[in-house]
Amino acid sequence: MTEMARNLDLAAWRDLDWRATLSKLLNLRDFDATLMICLLALLMLGYVAMGSASIEFADSRYGNPFHHVTRHGVYLVIALTLGLMVYQLPTALLQDNGGWLLLLGFVLLAMVLLFGKEVNGSKRWLALGPLTLQVSELVKLFVLLYVAGYLVRKQDEVRTHWVGFIKPMLVMAVLIVLLLAEPDFGAAVVMTASVMGMLFLGGARLWQFIALSAVSVAAAATMVMTSEYRMKRLLSYTDPWANQFDGGYQLVQSLIACGRGEWFGVGLGNSVQKLSYLPEAHTDFVVAILAEELGAAGVLLVLMLFSALIGRMLWIAFRSQRAGLLFGAYVAYGAAFLIAFQVFINLGVNTGLLPTKGLTLPFFSYGGSSLISCVVLVALVARAKQQLDQVEPTAVGRGGRA
């Protein structure tokens, strides 16, 4: 971040009229139009898809078919409110406090292991009254901000010395240990891949990146080989039909759902697989129900929206990097990687391309923590775009016009 941009950012924050906070929050004239359109479209489609996938399960489990629809609506309001608040924060404030946020992430992960709520053999959630918090979703944000700040402070060290590359990876090693203790293998993979991508774009040498990638793959293979549960999932993935009533059950039912949808689907709300055939389809396998009800055309629409969102994030990151706004650039790169990797893994699991792994589809799967995290990621990128507009008002159009 250039000194001029930093001063402008902090000055705007100091001069903010707090008596007009609500009006400020609702003033979205500077919010990037492309990001807003993609975000709102994904949120609306996701709400409909999740609602359709959850109705039968909610009716049988809670006696209320709109149980998840109502709760997801509450989470959606919270996510948008927090996203608007984060959008008003100066990037300099986030950059200066990345280390403290990372420390908070360590504390929260430790609290999960000590006091967390256990669901299906995993301790990933902290109970907050009627709501639950999946800590790993918050930690993704904290790691993103910390690494972005680190790359700004230590950019010369990262580019010229292996120590600069190893330091953030040692931090990630500790986080991975805590995440695997829950266990949350999916979050560990997504975070590691995103951080490695940020380091690579931050100037890390290619041989360092390749070496660490090889070590990461070897470590992941070792974890699978030494865990009976993970090995069972891997074997079921290689031939799900041979274990269609055991470890391959979810994948087989997901593939049946995708096949039934054909090109244009069986119609919204008409899925058969959500009638207790595909377990808890409103979470990790919501896209399978979407494929059944709206067909390949519906899935392609969703993929186009995700592609537009991620592409816009990468464009903002590239322009910010060229303008010298390095913190905003790395935040945008990291946000794009986090969402892209989650989309790829979730769709890969639903279609049998990857082994079954509990990882949500951003903006679609039921879960307040994931929804809040993804909306805040978009808000952080929109904030970086707003700062870019202030520094280069003639080079980049207002409101998202390039």
Structure confidence by residue, pLDDT tens digits, 111-126: 888 887 777 667 777 8
Given a cut of 70, is residue 22 above it in pLDDT? no
Lowest mean pLDDT among 201-205, 303-307, 377-381: 201-205
What confidence score (pLDDT) does residue 290 get? 93
Q: Interhelix angle for 368-391 vs 286-322, to 10°? A: 20
Nearest in space to 282 (alpha carbons), one of 23, 29, 61: 61
The better pLDDT of the pair 390, 50 is held by: 50
Which residue in this structure is represented by tokens 């949808």?
261
Q: What is the mean pLDDT of the chain?
A: 83
Cα–Cα distance between 371 and 376 in angstroms, integer?
Answer: 9
What confidence score (pLDDT) does residue 70 get? 92
* 63-114 confidence digits (pLDDT tens): 888 999 999 999 999 999 999 999 988 888 888 888 899 999 999 988 888 8
What confidence score (pLDDT) does residue 395 get? 46
How many distinct structural domains can be found in the chain?
A: 1
Query: What distance lies between CA 63 and its chain's CA centroid?
Result: 31
Work out the pLDDT band at 17, boundaries 50, 70, 90.
low
Phi, psi dihedrals of residue 123, rounded to the nearest 5°: -105, 95
In a domain, 107, yes or no: yes
What confidence score (pLDDT) does residue 232 get? 66
Work out the pLDDT band at 18, boundaries 50, 70, 90.
very low
- How many Cα atoms sit within 13 Å of 334 on the Cβ side? 31
H or E stretch at 78: helix 67-88
In this prediction, residues 166-170 reach a mean pLDDT of 85
In a domain, 391, yes or no: yes
What confidence score (pLDDT) does residue 216 get? 72
* 325-340 confidence digits (pLDDT tens): 999 999 999 999 999 9
In a domain, 2, yes or no: no
In a domain, 4, yes or no: no
The better pLDDT of the pair 10, 340 is held by: 340
Per cent of the chain over pLDDT 90 is 35
Separation in Å, CA 279 to CA 64, 182, 287, 352, 359? 18, 22, 13, 16, 15
In a domain, 20, yes or no: no
The better pLDDT of the pair 173, 21 is held by: 173
What confidence score (pLDDT) does residue 6 get? 60
In this prediction, residues 14-20 reach a mean pLDDT of 52
Cis-peptide into 279, omega within 30 deg: no
Determine the structural domain holding residue 185 and report its residue range: 32-400
Separation in Å, CA 341 to CA 10, 214, 318, 357? 33, 18, 19, 13
The better pLDDT of the pair 37, 60 is held by: 37
Per cent of the chain over pLDDT 70 is 83
What confidence score (pLDDT) does residue 29 get? 62
In a domain, 11, yes or no: no
The better pLDDT of the pair 298, 354 is held by: 298
What confidence score (pLDDT) does residue 284 get? 86
What confidence score (pLDDT) does residue 400 get? 44
Work out the pLDDT band at 399, boundaries 50, 70, 90.
very low
The better pLDDT of the pair 150, 155 is held by: 150
In this prediction, residues 127-145 reach a mean pLDDT of 86
- Whether 284 contacts 365, CB under 8 Å: yes
What confidence score (pLDDT) does residue 329 get? 94
Helices (H), 161-285: 162-180, 185-201, 206-225, 228-238, 249-261
Q: Interhelix angle for 368-391 vs 135-153, to 10°? A: 30
- Whether 359 contacts 137, CB under 8 Å: no
In this prediction, residues 27-33 reach a mean pLDDT of 70
In this prediction, residues 383-387 reach a mean pLDDT of 90
In a domain, 16, yes or no: no
Q: Is 0.95 topped by the overall pTM?
A: no
* 208-260 confidence digits (pLDDT tens): 777 777 777 777 677 666 666 666 666 666 667 667 666 677 888 888 888 88
In a domain, 9, yes or no: no
What confidence score (pLDDT) does residue 146 get? 94
Given a cut of 70, is residue 34 above it in pLDDT? yes
